[in-house]
Amino acid sequence: MSRAAAIAAPKGSGREGSDWPKHLIILAVLCIELLPFYMMLQISVKDNHAFLTNPWVPLPPGEWQLQNLVSGLKLIGPYIANTVFVAVCATAGSLGLALLGAYFFARYDMPFNRLLWAIFLVLMLMPGVANIVPLFSLLKSVGLLNSLNALILLGIAGGQVFQVFLLRNFIEDIPKDLFEAAEIDGASHFQQLRNIVIPMSGPIIGTLAILAFLGAWNDFMMPLIVLRDKELFTLGVGLIYLDGEYVKKWGEIMAAYLVASIPLILIFLFTMKLFIRGLSAGAIKG
C-alpha cells in the first residue's frame, strides 16, 4: 500500500473534491457485485413463507430461522468433510512434489535440464480439453473410479506445471552463498530444501497453497465423472445433487451454500493480505 500512497497523494493535488463521482460508481458496481452474497446471507435464515412474502429485506434477528443452518450443515456436512480431505491432501502433495521439482531446476543446470523443462513448459500451452475422456478410462482401468484417491492424484498432477514454474523462479533468487555454506557443512539436497528453501519461500508457498486449495474446493467436473457413491461426494457433486433434490426450500438451500462457504471465509480472514499480495506479486513477475 505504501507505493500506492506515494503515487496517489501528489496526483490528486489541486483537484480536491472531485472524487465523489468515482466513489459513487465504484460503490454502485460493488453493491451489484455483492448482491448474490447478500441474498445468500439473508435468505439463509428465512423460511419459505418469509422468503416468498419478502425476498429482499433481511428479517430482524429475532425471527431468524437458525435451524436452517443446522439442516444446511446436515445436508452438506459430509460433503465438506470429503472436500477438506481431498483439498488438503492435494494441496500438500502437489506443493511437496513441486518444491522437489523446482529445486531440481533451480539449483544446478544438470544435463537434460532443458529437455525436462521443455516437457513442463509445453503443458502450459497445451489445452487439456481432450484429456477428460481418456482420464476417465485410465482411472477405470486402474480401479480408481469412485474413490477420493483419484481426485487427490488429479489435484496433485494438475498443479505441477504452474507451481514448478513459479517456485523455480523463486528458488533461483535465493542467494547461492546460503546453499554453498550448507553444502560445506555436509547438508544433503533434501536438508538444503528443508532448511533453506522452505523457510525462505513462505509467502509464495502460502499463495500457491491458497490457489491450490481453492481449485480443489471449487472443482466439480472430475468429481462428477469419478464419484458414484453418495458417501464419497465432494462439495461440487453434493451441491449439484442438492440442486436437483431440493427445489422448493430456498432458505435451507441458501443455508447450505453459506455453510459451504464458511471454510473459505475462515481461510480468507486469516490470509487475505497474503492473498492480495501474492496475486499482485505474481502479476508483476509475469
Partner 1 sequence: MARIRVSPRKALHEWKLYLFIVPSLAMIVVFSYYPALSAMFHSFFDWTGGDNKQFIGAANFRRLLSDGVLWQSFVTIGILVVANIFKMVPSIALAVLVHRVKSDKWQYWYRVFLVIPMIVPGLVTLFIWKFFFDPTSGLLNAVLDVTGFKSVLIAFDRDLLGWGVFQEGVPIPWLGDPRLIIPSLILWGFPWIGAVGVLIYLAGLQSIGTEVYEAADIDGANALQKFWYVEFPLIMTQVRINLILLVIGTLQGFGLQLLLLGNSGGPGGAGMVPGLWMFNKAFLVGEFGYACAIGILLFVFILGLTFINNKYVRVDK
Stretch binding partner 1 (CB under 8 A), from 67-75, 84-92, 136-144, 198-206: 136-144
Please say which residue, 105 or 232, places its beta carbon nearer to partner 1. 105
Rounded CA gap, 271 and 122, in Å?
32
Q: Residue 205 CB, nearest distance to partner 1 (Å)?
A: 15
Stretch binding partner 1 (CB under 8 A), from 30-38, 57-65, 66-74, 200-208: 30-38
Please say which residue, 50 or 62, places its beta carbon nearer to partner 1. 50
Q: Residue 260 CB, nearest distance to partner 1 (Å)?
A: 6
Residue by residue, DSSP assigns 59-105 as PPGGG--THHHHHHHHHHHHHHHHHHHHHHHHHHHHHHHHHHHHHHH
Q: Residue 60 CB, nearest distance to partner 1 (Å)?
A: 21
Q: Residue 228 CB, nearest distance to partner 1 (Å)?
A: 12
Residue 19 phi, psi dihedral angles, 5° rounding: -90, -20
Set of cell numbers at residue 29: 458496481
Rounded CA gap, 286 and 67, in Å?
47
Set of cell numbers at residue 24: 459513487
- End-to-end distance of the chain based on CA atoms, in angstroms? 20
Q: In the set 49, 125, 184, 185, which binds partner 1 (CB under 8 A)?
A: 125
Asked if 157 and 59 count as a contact pair (C-beta separation under 8 A), the reply is: no
For the segment 67-86, give every residue that binds partner 1 (CB under 8 A).
none
Q: Is 46 in the site for partner 1 (CB under 8 A)?
A: no
Amino acid at site 133:
V
Please say which residue, 40 or 70, places its beta carbon nearer to partner 1. 40
Asked if 91 and 205 count as a contact pair (C-beta separation under 8 A), the reply is: no
Q: How large is the C-alpha radius of gyration of the chain?
A: 24
Q: In the set 40, 59, 178, 182, which binds partner 1 (CB under 8 A)?
A: 40
Q: Is 160 in the site for partner 1 (CB under 8 A)?
A: yes
Q: Is 121 in the site for partner 1 (CB under 8 A)?
A: no
Asked if 246 and 253 count as a contact pair (C-beta separation under 8 A), the reply is: yes
Q: Is 10 in the site for partner 1 (CB under 8 A)?
A: yes
Q: Is 52 in the site for partner 1 (CB under 8 A)?
A: yes
Q: Is 156 in the site for partner 1 (CB under 8 A)?
A: yes
Asked if 265 and 276 count as a contact pair (C-beta separation under 8 A), the reply is: no
Please say which residue, 5 or 184, places its beta carbon nearer to partner 1. 5
Q: Residue 231 CB, nearest distance to partner 1 (Å)?
A: 20
Q: In the set 45, 87, 90, 106, which binds partner 1 (CB under 8 A)?
A: 106
CA torsion, points 178, 184, 185, 189, in degrees to nearest 10? 70
Set of cell numbers at residue 157: 498432477
Q: Residue 279 CB, nearest distance to partner 1 (Å)?
A: 5
Asked if 260 and 273 count as a contact pair (C-beta separation under 8 A), the reply is: no
Q: Residue 107 CB, nearest distance to partner 1 (Å)?
A: 7
For the segment 203-262, give every residue that binds partner 1 (CB under 8 A).
217-218, 220-221, 225, 235-236, 239-240, 243, 250, 253-254, 257, 260-261
